[in-house]
Structures are given as C-alpha cells and as structure tokens.
Structure 1
Amino acid sequence: MVAGLSLPTVLPEVANVTVLALMGVGLILVFVQPSGRGVIRQPAVLLPLAAGAILALALVFTATTPNHVLAVLVLAPLFLVGPLASLLQKLGRELTPTLVGIFALVGAAGAFAVAVYDVAVRGLSRGGYSVNNVIHFADLALTIGFVALIGVFGTKGRSRFIFVIGPVLGLIAVVLANSRGPILAAVPVSIAAAAMISGMLLPRRWVLPAAAATLVVLIGGGYLAYVLGFAQRLERLGSVVTLFSSGTTGDSSVGERFHMYISAWNAFQASPIFGHGLIDYTHAAAQYAPPGPVQYKPSQHLHNDIADFAVIGGSLGLLSYVLYLAAPLAGALATRGRWRNAALYLGVVMPVGYFAMGLTNAMIGILTQTVLYAVVLALIAALDVNSSPSSTHES
C-alpha cells in the first residue's frame, strides 16, 4: 500500500521495484495457496490479460524475432494484477476505502511537498524535476490525489472531508509542475469525481453545493496558476487554433505533437489491422511523417496513448487499449457488497483520468503510471472479494 500509493510521487523507482517484487511474491502464492485464486476471476484482473493477449497477437504478425513479441512484457505490471490483488486480499476486512484513502493522501501530500520544494526552495520553473519527468510527475500527482478521495466512502461524519484535501494537494502539485496536459485533464477528472460522489453519497440538497465547490476549486486552481505566472503555458494553447487555421505554429511543443499524431495516423492507415510492432514503433511512425517545416526526433513514445497503440498494433492495438481503459469500470460493476460505491468511484475516475492525460502524453506503457494503474485495478478486485457477502475474511 505504501509502495503503490504513497511513494510514486516521491520515490518512483523505489515504488516500481517494490510493487513488482510484491507481484512476484503474489504470483508464487497464487500457485501455493488455493484460497487466493478466487480474485483471479475478477474482471479487473481478466480484462488486462485479454488486452495483453490481443496486443501480443498483433505483434506476432509483425515480428521478425521472438523479442518483437516478448516486447509486450513492457506491460507486465498489468498482467500481474491478479497476484497483487491476492496479496491485498489477505488484509481481509482491514482493506477499506479509508485505508486506501489514507495512503493515497500521503502520496498527494508528497507530491505537494516535492513541487513546493522544487519551485520555492530550489527556484526551478517547474515542480517535480527533482524526482521525475515533470509531465509524468503531474500525471501521478493528479491520479493519486483523486484516488485519495475514495476515503469518503469508508468514513462517517465530518471526518470524511479530510480526504478532499487529496485532490486539492494533487491539483496544486499539477499547477506547480506547469504541465498543460495534466492541468487540462484535471477538468474532466474533477467533474467525474464530483458527479460520482454527489450521486452516491450526498442528499439531493447537497448536489448543487458540491458542484459549486468543484467549480470553485477549478477556478481557484486557474487563478493560482495565473498569479504564479504558470498560466502563460496555457495561454499558448491558442497556438493549436493557429496550427489548424494556418498549418504553422510558434509553439514547438504543440507543433511536434501534431506532427507525431499525423505521422501515427498515416502509419495506422498503412497497416490498419496489425500495426508495425512495439520495438522502434516511433521510428516506424516517423517514416510516415507529413511534409512540412515541423520535424521531430523519434523518442520513446508518440505523446498520445491512442497514437501509440494504433501504430504498435493497428486495430487490434486500439482494441487492447479500450480493454485496458474498460478494466476498472468492469471490475467495479462486478463488485458486490459494502464497498461497491467505492469501487465504482475508482472505476470511473481512473479511466477518465488516464484517457484525458493520455491525449497529450503516454500513460499506459510508462512504468510508474502503468504500475499505479495496476495497483488500483488490484485494489478494485480485492475490495470486491473482501466486501462480498460470502467473504469469510476477518479483521
């Protein structure tokens, strides 16, 4: 729980290694202890396996060596959701939304502390540089901040409002990271979170105040960005309009991304069923780059999950991506018992966030983001098993 939710924003490498090691332990226990195998049937576990199998099938048709198929193991954390869930299942009734919210709240506080330290103490222009790529840092801060909000489903009375601090800390960290993609993604994530909590927890008379509070937080975040001078990057989003109207833009970041997306679209049309494979797929996309003044040097990804999966696996790759996004919601819908609403909250907020953030930067396939997604899937599966009426786990 510490490695999966509290450390990704502060010590991402430690978090990754620890979670992967625990997944290995869980995999052994699944074979040794039959009692832990029931969680394997949960949709949050099965859908990532199906998605991986579909993507591997696409890779078979484009592979020239076994390594081209084995490259799918870059998504290994998503294949090991079941073993991790079997470990979490051992917490029994102690695994509650409150517990999850507390560990995620620590992670959001860590993101806030890192961002403030980088900007206020080190004098950096963007928070998060000291621990991670700032875009990845902002993605993680936003995700964990809203995961913390699950605590409101496990706590009664006014004390539940402490978990509202999670999204606030996460949003501040995102603003200080000064990354446009996560800042924009914060809008649909906030709306989804507010809608889920209002619909499932609040009396009708509180729905409008909750919506107003969400709006205040979003406006407050925008004002903070403006006061601190971070809004200049958002103002440059107008260059997107210029790009579509004239074909050119003075914003190199927008221009490069747009160039990547056109290249990905052309590459997808060239191989619409099976794609071009995972190894060096950005170089494959670059071969289909459109003519024009904006050129980009192929990097690790195409700054868009849809583009990545389309180039890697064609239509099969896109189907795989849809299944990955559907896994949290499918797992939540299958959940029965007292924590169903908590699982539904994660089942909606996670795919909304990862889809929105994945429009401007890779999410699934980047190790820390992939591990975090797997951790949340495992939590959904474990909450289902532990809260079901037939569960015999004791606290």
Structure 2
Amino acid sequence: MNRVPRADEIEAGLGLELPAPSLSSGETILRRAVLVVAIGLSCVLGYFTTYVLLVLIVLVAAYFWLRRSSIAMPFDLPAKLFLGAFALLFISALVTAQQPVDILQTLNFAAMLFYAPLAALFRRAATPANSRKIADFALVGAAAGLCVSLYFTYIEGLPRAGLGSFFTDPIRLSNTALIVGFFAMIGAAASSSYQRFIYALGPLLALVVIFASGSRAALIAFPVLLFVAALLLVKHKWLAIGVSLGLAVGFAVIGYVADLAGARSSTLFEILGRLAGGDNPADLGTTIRFILYRAGSFAFLEAPVFGHGWSRLMSSILPYLAVYEQVHAQLPHLHNDALNFAVAAGIFGIAVYLILLVTPVLCCLRSPRDSQYRTRLYGCSLLSISYFVLGLPDTMLSFTLHNTLYVVLTAMLLNYCRDEAV
C-alpha cells in the first residue's frame, strides 16, 4: 500500500519552509529575562544572579509543565548528563549525611535538574540570527562589568574591585566578566561586515575588569581564551595563532613594566618564576593554596569513594594541618574545583566534575552542522576551557553562581544558537 506523504514532506519537496512554532508572550518574556540576567547583568548582580536565575528557571519549568499537553519537552543527551551528575552528587550526599541538612547541600546544584525546560525554552526560538544576538548581550554585559569595576575603584576607592562587597568579590567579578567578554567574540564570527570588529572590545573590557580586581587567575586564563578564540573563530589559523600569542605577550609586558595590573597581578611573574625554580612562592595566597591542596589530598584518600560531604569539606582537612595552619580551614573551600568535588563527594564527585566539563563540547560535536555550528563550538569550548582553567586556583563548577551560569549558558548555546526551531 502506498503511504500518504505527510504535510512536512510535501512542503520539503516543494522547497517550502515550515512556520516557526507559535510562541506566547509569556514564553518570550521568560527567555529574554534569562538572557538578560545570565549575560547582560551577571556582573552587576553578582551573587544575586544565582537566585534570580533559579527563580526564572523554576518559572520556566512551571510554564512547560502547565502546557505539557501541547508542548513536548526534549530530554536529550545534555539533559541526561546533567541529571546523571546531580544523581551522583545526591547519592554521595545520602551516604555521607550525618543530619538531614547535609542532603540539602545538593540544592546548590539544583540548576542541573532544570536543563530540559531551559533547552525547550531556547530551542523553540532558534533562528540563524541568534548568535549575533548573544554577542550583543555579551558586549553589553562586559561593559556593565567595566562600569561596576570603575565604581569600586574610583567611587569607593577600593584597592581591588569588589573587595569587601556584599554582592560580589574580586574573583567572581573578574571571572564572570572574562567569560562574558569572550562570549562577545561570537559576534565577530556571526557578522560579515566591518561591525564585527567591535566585538573584539568584549575581551578588552574584561581585561580592564581583571586589572581593577587584581585577579591573577583571570589574568592567566586571558591568553588561554585568546588562543581558543583565535583557533576557532579565525579562518587563517597560523596568522590567528601568531597574533593571539603576540597580543598575549604584549599584555604581559605592559602589565609587568607599567604595572597596569596593580601590585597583586604583577606579583604573578615572581610567583611563576619561583615555582619554575622549585622555590616556595613568596605570595601568601599561593602558599595557603598549596597547604590546602596537600591537606585536601590526604582528606580525599581517607574517604575516596563517597567523600566527606559538602558540609564537612573544610573540617575534613583539619587533621592534616599543622596547628598554625588550622586557621586556613575557616576558608569556604579548597581553592581548586577538582579537589572540592573529590573531598566532598569522592570518586562520585570527580566523575561529576569530568561530566560537567565535557558536556558542552561533547554535545556540540553531536549537534547539526548548520550555519551557527562554528560559533556554537566556540562558545561551548570557551565554557569548558574557561571553567577548567579558572577552577584550578579557585572554585567554579563547585560554586553555586558559576554552576548555575554554566547550565544556563550550555542550554543557550546548544539550543538557541541553532538555525531550526523545534
């Protein structure tokens, strides 16, 4: 029996395009609000970005649940990976919990549970022009980060932008500005006119924020991300690599000679020189980190499978600290993402850390090779690499703010920066 062709097959054969799905005004408002908060205002809102995004995410989930009869919510590979990562953390928390509140610590990673509704929100509005829109939001977000840093520096007169603030800190401000600033570079590949060069201002604005905050981790990550941008966005690879390395060396020379980065950032060169020579770093912050890393390694070996639990992340290292070092256990974390996951959740935590790092790039490689594939791959690579590098001397994926942003930005890149809507 001959099968009757479907309407979409007939339209495809005639060279026609199916109309985009009907989007309600409420859905559009939610999507724009998530985009504005995650990219445009994350430097301004600081810690409060987490709570605003979580409220919006819950509203998105409620919206699709109420319309579940007319809207299908995709449960694809990234949704499974994020849900699996959360499940591993929850199992570890159940095993190590000494009181009910210990299990509630996993709610710091609650955004991973809501990837599917976020993906549906973005996928239903996918168009070929979305990469350029994301770049516009990011450029505004980088400029907003610059304004915040200038306020702290020249209005409040702080030695480091964000130091002692109730809504942010120098590391959160610089790391967020760095990621948002390099997100703006998506516009350089998404645009074919001379206007694309304006998006190069994103990393430069972020660099000023880094100088104002005195963040050495962000200063190290800057040339790494510059190399990623050159490799994935510029067609002439060798020229791009040469230019990016030249710019990175130029920034380093300027920062060292003219001390534009301030005393804290300029000591980076002395620290690296001492470490290369096998000497102890003269900087107190670096010395404390090595103390935490040593004690954290012993704490992990004490409970390698399920860990000690997030509520005992710092108390678990006390037996491995000298008496004069125990004051460092009052810090909020171990200043290394992988070690945070390892000590808190053992092998389960390490698995979660690796799953989270590979999810954006892995899922992007499985995505359609449409007109936005290159910018999508750049954005996903930027996420994974920046979180890895910035998480080496501090916390990123194990910190609620950056974990929430990671989930939202992954959903946005994989679903909004596509040519075809669902």
1:33 is matched by which residue type in structure 2? Answer: R
Per-residue CA shift, 1:32-86, capped at 9, x if unaligned?
A: 3346544431x33322211111122222221223332231111112222222222
2:113 aligned with 1:79: yes
Matches within 5 A, 1:157-176: 157-176=193-212
Per-residue CA shift, 1:332-361, capped at 9, x if unaligned?
A: 112213322222111211111001000111
Is the Cα contact below 8 Å between 1:6 and 1:107 reproduced in 2?
A: yes
Is the Cα contact below 8 Å between 1:119 and 1:176 reproduced in 2?
A: yes
Whole-angstrom CA distance in 1 between matches of 2:271 and 2:189: 42
2:302 aligned with 1:270: yes
Count of residue pairs brought into register by the alignment: 382
2:261 aligned with 1:230: yes
TM norm structure 2: 0.83
Select which of 75, 91, 113 maps to 1:40.
75
Is the Cα contact below 8 Å between 1:20 and 1:77 reproduced in 2?
A: yes
Select which of 159, 162, 187 maps to 1:151.
187
2:216 aligned with 1:183: no
Worse-superposed segment, 134-143 or 222-231: 222-231
Per-residue CA shift, 1:157-212, capped at 9, x if unaligned?
A: 222222111111112211221111111121222211211112xxx2x3xx333223
2:414 is matched by which residue type in structure 1? Answer: A
Whole-angstrom CA distance in 1 between matches of 2:226 and 2:352: 26
Worse-superposed segment, 138-147 or 291-300: 291-300
**Correspondence for 2:238:** 208
**Correspondence for 2:27:** none
**Correspondence for 2:139:** 105
2:394 aligned with 1:361: yes
Q: 1:182 to 1:89 in 2, by over 3 A?
A: same
Whole-angstrom CA distance in 2 between matches of 1:120 and 1:246: 39
Is the Cα contact below 8 Å between 1:7 and 1:14 reproduced in 2?
A: no
Shift of residue 94 of structure 1?
7.3
Is the Cα contact below 8 Å between 1:260 and 1:286 reproduced in 2?
A: no
2:347 aligned with 1:319: no
Q: 1:294 to 1:367 in 2, by over 3 A?
A: closer
Is the Cα contact below 8 Å between 2:161 and 2:169 reproduced in 1?
A: no
Is the Cα contact below 8 Å between 1:276 and 1:313 reproduced in 2?
A: yes
Gaps of 5+ in 1: none
Select which of 322, 325, 329 maps to 2:361.
329
Whole-angstrom CA distance in 1 between matches of 2:240 and 2:360: 25
**Correspondence for 2:342:** 310
Whole-angstrom CA distance in 2 between matches of 1:217 and 1:36: 48
- The structure that has the greater radius of gyration is 2
Shift of residue 232 of structure 1?
3.6
Whole-angstrom CA distance in 2 between matches of 1:292 and 1:161: 53
Shift of residue 295 of structure 1?
5.2
**Correspondence for 1:117:** 151
**Correspondence for 1:26:** 60
TM norm structure 1: 0.88
Q: What RMSD in Å do the two structures reach over aligned CA positions?
A: 2.5
**Correspondence for 1:6:** 40
Whole-angstrom CA distance in 1 between matches of 2:145 and 2:259: 18
Whole-angstrom CA distance in 2 between matches of 1:57 and 1:293: 32
Whole-angstrom CA distance in 2 between matches of 1:189 and 1:219: 14
Select which of 168, 171, 179 maps to 1:132.
168
**Correspondence for 2:25:** none
State the identity %.
Answer: 26
Gaps of 5+ in 2: 1-34
Is the Cα contact below 8 Å between 1:81 and 1:374 reproduced in 2?
A: yes
Q: 1:209 to 1:19 in 2, by over 3 A?
A: same
Shift of residue 322 of structure 1?
0.3
2:289 is matched by which residue type in structure 1? Answer: R
